[in-house]
């Protein structure tokens, strides 16, 4: 399989292909199938969610004040992504302080957060 790099000027930020899968784009010199960018689309406030095309932006990260919240489009609206405690596994945490701010570690079974 060969790959080609296609460069173009973006008309707007929405011209970026966020999401998953492939997207066909027609250009003056032909039709191209492009991989979508598998990233969470960044926005600056929850109010911006209403103006997004959920098919193009199924996953969104809102940077508002000092808070960062991920949203996923489902049930006809953007819903915050919540961590399901049943799927969290801490069995492979380091047993000594990693000395990296915010990293978790286990002190003889006691969950701790490193201060760096």
pTM for this predicted structure: 0.48
Pair 24, 66 in one domain: yes
Pair 75, 102 in one domain: no
Whether 35 maps to a domain, the answer reads yes
Pair 21, 50 in one domain: yes
Instruction: Report, as an integer, the average pLDDT of 61-88.
Output: 86
Pair 22, 71 in one domain: yes
Pair 20, 77 in one domain: yes
Number of domains forming the structure of the chain: 2
Whether 3 maps to a domain, the answer reads no
Pair 48, 62 in one domain: yes
Tens-place pLDDT, residues 10-33: 444 445 566 666 777 777 777 777
Pair 97, 77 in one domain: no
Give the CA angle between residues 22, 87, 57 to the nearest 5°: 25
Burial code (b: 16+ CB inside 10 Å, e: under 16) for 1-23 equals eeeeeeeeeeeeeeeebbbeeee
Whether 1 maps to a domain, the answer reads no
- Distance, CA of 49 to CA of 64 (rounded, Å): 12
CB 112 within 8 A of CB 106: yes
Looking at residue 4, its pLDDT comes to 54
Whether 2 maps to a domain, the answer reads no
**Residue entry with tokens 């969290």:** 88
Tens-place pLDDT, residues 73-82: 988 999 998 8
| pLDDT higher at 6 or 64 | 64
With a pLDDT cut of 70, the percent of the chain lying above it is: 76
Whether 8 maps to a domain, the answer reads no
Give the lowest-confidence range in 7-11, 33-37, 44-48, 88-92: 7-11
């Amino acid at each position: 399989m060969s790959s080609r790099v296609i460069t173009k000027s973006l008309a707007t930020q929405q011209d970026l292909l966020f999401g998953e899968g492939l997207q066909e784009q027609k250009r003056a010199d032909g039709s191209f199938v492009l991989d979508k960018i598998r990233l969470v689309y960044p926005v600056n406030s929850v109010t911006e969610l209403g103006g997004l095309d959920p098919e193009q932006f199924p996953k969104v990260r809102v940077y508002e004040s000092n808070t960062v919240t991920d949203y996923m489009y489902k049930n006809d609206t953007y819903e915050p992504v919540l961590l399901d405690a049943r799927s969290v596994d801490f069995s492979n945490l380091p047993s000594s302080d990693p000395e990296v701010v915010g990293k978790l570690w286990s002190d003889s079974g006691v969950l701790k957060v490193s201060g760096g």
